[in-house]
Each structure stands twice: as C-alpha cells, then as structure tokens.
A and B are shown apart, each in its own frame.
Chain A
Amino acid sequence: MDHQHAAAPLARLIDELHRLPGVGPKTAQRLAYHLVRAPKEEVQSLAEALSAMKEQVFFCSQCHNLTDVEPCAICGDGQRDRSTVCVVEQALDILALERTRRYKGLYHVLHGAISPMNGVGPGDLTIAALEGRLRTGAVKELILATNPNLEGEATATYIQRQVRGLPVAVTRLARGLPSGADLEYADEVTLARAIEGRQVMS
C-alpha cells in the first residue's frame, strides 16, 4: 500500500500492522494513527508486551501448545488422563475445550490444517510428532477435534489413515445440533448430520 505521504517510521508501522491476520490497509492506518496519538507509556507497554511474548512463549515439546514453562501446564499436570489425546488445529481451540471442564486428557496442537491450496501439507503440521507420541503405547484414545470444515475433515482423515495399525482407538467429535437451538431452525446439512450421528438413549 502506498503511504508516500506518511512519515517514514509511520509508514513502516502501517506495513507491519497490515501483515497481521484480519488487518486490512484501512485498519492498519487507523491503528497506526491511534498509536501516534496514544500516551508514550501506553505504546511502550504494548511494545514490551510484544517482545516479552516473543521471548517467553514457546511450544511445549510434548503437545506443541503455547507455553512459558516446559512441559506446559496441561502436560505437566499429574491429575490429567495420559491415555487420551485430543488433536486440535490451533492453541486457541484448547482454551475452548478447557472451558467445558469436561475433558481431562492431554492435547496435541497441529498448528494448522492440511490445505494444498495454501501450500500446507502434513509435513508443515506436527503430525510426525503426534505419531511419535502414539508409538510410546501410552495413548489409548485419540480424539480428532479438527474443525468441521473441509480442511479440518481432510486433516482428520489423513491422521486416521496414518495411525492405522497403531493400538489406539480413533474418535471424532460429534457433529450435529447446537444445544439451546430449535430443531425447526436447523439447516438441512446440520440436521442431516445429526440424524446420521444419532445415539441410543441409555
């Protein structure tokens, strides 16, 4: 984008911000001009937060979650069920699953999903490390919790094919109706999936 009328340091900041996901050229300009007018302490605090994050946060050697301790808080928690591993695309997905307080097992973060279109292949994800974890024999169930979109499904299918032959049960998160919703408002696809995935009432 052309910032020939912006002062050079400002133009540089706009370019840096524009590289962030979800930030278009207009938003980048707006943020940059906001920071110009912000108090010096505020801007310094932001800069410190950025560099502290980069210096102190790294990937857990076991689950590849973001952490500032090794192993991460979840892998290091002796209370958690070490025979179950839940595979997610992003570290953020762990936060969502943890909020349920239902899951007591471990995680494995892929850091993405297979997408040939975007040049992301299995080698760009942490699938080899996952296979290594499974080969220790400690894991009895692998829960594939990739997103229910095409790339997430392809990733789940790929992993399922890769771990065939290993003594681990592979499960996939159920897909269907969101709770609190009315049946009559569900779209055909979701409803069809819910019918396919119906369960015996015990």
Chain B
Amino acid sequence: MWPCRSFAPPSAPAPYNGPVLLRRLSLENFRNIASLDLPFAPGRTVLHGRNAQGKTNLLEAVHLLAAAKSIRAEHERDLIAWNVLAGEIPYTRIRGDFDRGGTPLRLEVFLQLEPDGDASQDGEPRLAKRLRVNGAPRRAADFVGEMQAVLFEPQDIELVYGSPSSRRRHLDMTLSQADRPLLHDLQRYQRILTQRNHLLKSLREGRASPAELPTWDDILIESGAAIIAARAAALASLDASAARLHAQLTAGTERLRLLYAPSFPVPEGGAAHIAVAFRQALAATAARERLFGATIAGPHRDDFAFQLGGVSLAAFGSRGQHRLATVALKLAEAEYMTQRTGTQPTLLLDDILSELDADRRGFLLERVADSPQALITTADLPSLQGTLLRDAAVLEIVAGAVR
C-alpha cells in the first residue's frame, strides 16, 4: 500500500555548496513577454528600460523557478499573457537552465488553462501547473529550492504594515526554499486545518459527534508544533542578521527587531513543549471554535512584527524606515538561505536602488557584489554609472523583448 506516485523519483540533492547560476532563461507567453530566450552570465546583469516594458516580469519569472509560485499573483492565471488567454490552449512556460557546479540543471514551470472545459468549483477554468526538474515531473515540495532566489521590490515595504497573511506567505515562501521538510509540513497542516474546520462546522450544525475531534486535535498539534518550532528558529536567525545588517545600513543606534508573534504563547525547548502549549491553546479556544466553526489557535494565525528601538514600525515608522527595515530583512533572508543550505541565493533587485540614497545604495551594491549572481532592473541607467555596477552586463528591455 505505497502511496501511488506517478512521479519520477526526485534525485537526492548531493551535497553541493556552490552557487546555482542562471545561464539561460526562456519564456513563452509570460505576462507581456510573448517569447524570449536570453543567455545570462554569472555576476551582475542590469536590465534597463522604461517602465512597463517587462523588466519586472523577467525577475518574477526567475523567482518563480525558485519558489514554484508567484510572489504576488493571487490568481496564477494572470501569469499567462492576456493575449493568449483567448487562444486555443492558453499556457505559459518558464524555463531556466542553470549551472550547478558544472552539472546542468533545468527547471521548468508550465501553466495551462485546461482546455477540456471541466471547470473548477468557482466556475473558472482549471489552471494546471506542471513542474519539471531536468525534464522529470516534480511535486512543488520536491521542486522548491532547487535554485534559491531573494527578490527585492518596491512593494516590499507593505510587509511592514500589510496583513499578517501576506507576512506569513512571504515567510513561508522564503523559508521553504531552504527547508523542504517545512514546506511539506505546511502543505500537510493546511489539509488538516481544512478537515478540522469542516468538522467544527459539522459539530456546530449537529451533524457530527464531538468524539471525532480528538483525532484531528492530535494530528493538528503534531504538525503545527513542528511548523512553529521551525518558524521560531528561523525568525531568531533572521532577527539577529537583520539587526546587524540594519545597523550597518543606517549607521543608526536603534535596534531593528523581527519578532515572532504566534497565536499563543510559545515556550522554549522545541516541538514537544510547543505541542503541550498548542493543546492548551486549543482547549482555551474550544468554545469560540464551536461558535465560529473554525480553528482559532495555530500556526495559520502566526505573524511577525517589525520593531525599531522598541517601537512598532507599522504604527510609527516612516516610509524610509520601512524601506531600510525590509532591505535588511531581505539581506537577512539571503544570509539565512546561505547558512542553511551552504548555497548563496540569486539576488533579484527590482527597481530597488532608486528607492535608496547614495550611501545605502552603495552598501546594498557591496552585498550584491559578494553574491555569485544578481539581476538588477532600473529605469534610470545613468544613475548607476560610477557605482559597482559599471562592470555589469547591460541589457535593454523594450516591449517585452531584449534589444
């Protein structure tokens, strides 16, 4: 009774601590890019061009190869170029050829609107996503993190004051690249949560017996405690790195903190202790769970907060402070990935340099210079002259094509 898997067995990642370098990127029908096949060199590549030409889309495509899902698309069908959506079989293909210490690595993401007309529940055509590594199909949990990337973009500052769910999504996408068991736990937890919430609704409506609940409590607690332990450890590491980087970035005296804000008090001492606290939290929220028909405590309600000098940045920070805090967070994420996997991630800087003054830009570019590969977009190429980017490869993007 082995789980029936129609997938080729994923090759185990051999211990390899060098960089995974993008050598070629091929796109078909990706947002505004009809077709593109572009070689890349190690080191720094600057993509310049006026706004709305497709620079951001290129970076988004590379990030998609690392994370298997779009950093922002709520509806992934939006990744498919709008002008082929009405076509025979609307699809988009993103393919990256990488050099992994002399071994070629090909990552592919293929999205297609199902032509069969079998609609999903909400009446939208079903979107099929296929992931391949070196031509072999993979599940997302066996694809994410084959190559790692950190994307810096202007809307990063929304992380500071945006919704807890956007922070969770960001944290999960980042940590998963360096921690596949966590991704597996997250997917499993989500399924358990869905089942348990259905059960709570049935209990409310008298269609189920309370005797069914302890089973789901056990499974939820076991899975959730592992996630909370992983997030607590990762945030402690990100907090330390971001504080140091932020101090260097601002030459300031106020300490930046990234504070884990779980849905119930989480004790020290690993998953076993967290499981005990989780069980208490479920007991404490049991009455409200019945009322709402939903699970109230657990990692699906986790959050993290930015503080500067002991004060909430979301409530009191300026736009400039938000910017520097998120740049520090992103750099800390790159350090986290490097520490955990030994491989430095590809840095993707989307129009971020223009958001920083000369000193801060210089600091960020030094970091970029230390990374094995970085893709940088700008609408203002002259502003980069005289910086560390003068020896970068320069490509101009016009209307979704490279000039």
Contact A96 B1 (CB under 8 A): yes
Chain A CB within 8 A of B208 CB:
yes
Query: How many A-B pairs fall under 8 Å by CB?
Result: 81
Q: List 28 A-B contacts (CB under 8 A).
A: A24-B116, A25-B118, A26-B116, A97-B1, A114-B212, A114-B215, A115-B195, A119-B207, A121-B207, A122-B209, A123-B209, A147-B1, A148-B1, A148-B3, A149-B3, A150-B192, A151-B195, A153-B219, A154-B215, A157-B218, A157-B219, A161-B215, A184-B11, A186-B12, A187-B142, A188-B180, A189-B141, A192-B181
Residues of B within 8 A of A149 (CB): 3
Interface string of B214-233 (1 = CB under 8 A from A): 11101100000000000000
Contact A185 B218 (CB under 8 A): no
Which residues of A from 171 to 202 have beta carbons under 8 Å from B? Answer: 173, 178, 181-189, 192
Contact B198 A116 (CB under 8 A): yes
Closest 5 interchain pairs by CB?
Answer: A185-B9, A116-B199, A116-B198, A158-B215, A117-B198
Given contacts A116-B216, A188-B184, A189-B141, list 13 more A-B pairs with CB under 8 A. Answer: A24-B116, A25-B117, A97-B1, A114-B212, A116-B195, A116-B198, A119-B202, A121-B202, A150-B192, A158-B212, A173-B1, A187-B10, A188-B180
A25 to B119, CA, bound (A): 11
Q: Which residues of B contact A (CB under 8 A)?
A: 1-3, 9-12, 116-118, 141-142, 180-181, 184, 188, 191-192, 194-196, 198-199, 202, 207-209, 211-212, 214-216, 218-219
A61 to B3, CA, bound (A): 30
CB distance from A52 to the nearest CB of B (A): 30
Residues of B within 8 A of A68 (CB): none
Contact B202 A187 (CB under 8 A): no
Q: Which residue of B lies closest to A181 (CB)?
A: B9
Residues of A within 8 A of B180 (CB): 188
Contact A157 B215 (CB under 8 A): yes
Q: Which residue of B lies closest to A117 (CB)?
A: B198
Q: A122-B209, A150-B188, A153-B219 are in contact. Are A117 and B194 (CB under 8 A)?
A: yes
CB distance from A27 to the nearest CB of B (A): 10
Chain B CB within 8 A of A16 CB:
no
Residues of A within 8 A of B194 (CB): 117
Partner pick for B208 among A116, A158, A189, CB 8 A cutoff: A116
CB distance from A161 to the nearest CB of B (A): 6
Which residues of A from 121 to 165 have beta carbons under 8 Å from B? Answer: 121-123, 145, 147-151, 153-154, 157-158, 161
Contact A145 B1 (CB under 8 A): yes
Chain B CB within 8 A of A70 CB:
no
Residues of B within 8 A of A182 (CB): 9
Task: Give chain A's interface residue range (CB within 8 Å of chain B).
Answer: 35 or more
Contact B219 A150 (CB under 8 A): yes
Chain B CB within 8 A of A93 CB:
yes
Contact B11 A185 (CB under 8 A): yes
Contact A154 B195 (CB under 8 A): yes
Contact B184 A121 (CB under 8 A): no
Partner pick for B212 among A116, A119, A148, A189, CB 8 A cutoff: A116
Contact B219 A154 (CB under 8 A): yes
Contact B195 A188 (CB under 8 A): no
Q: Which residue of B lies closest to A189 (CB)?
A: B184
Partner pick for B195 among A97, A123, A150, A157, CB 8 A cutoff: A150
Residues of A within 8 A of B118 (CB): 24-25
Contact A187 B9 (CB under 8 A): yes
Residues of A within 8 A of B11 (CB): 184-185
Contact A122 B116 (CB under 8 A): no
Residues of B within 8 A of A158 (CB): 212, 215
Residues of B within 8 A of A153 (CB): 219
A116 to B293, CA, bound (A): 12
Residues of B within 8 A of A116 (CB): 195-196, 198-199, 202, 208, 212, 216
CB distance from B2 to the nearest CB of A (A): 5
Partner pick for B181 among A93, A147, A161, A189, CB 8 A cutoff: A189
A121 to B199, CA, bound (A): 9
Residues of B within 8 A of A122 (CB): 209, 211-212
Q: Which residue of A lies closest to B196 (CB)?
A: A116
Contact B212 A184 (CB under 8 A): no
Residues of A within 8 A of B1 (CB): 93, 96-97, 145, 147-148, 173
CB distance from B271 to the nearest CB of A (A): 14
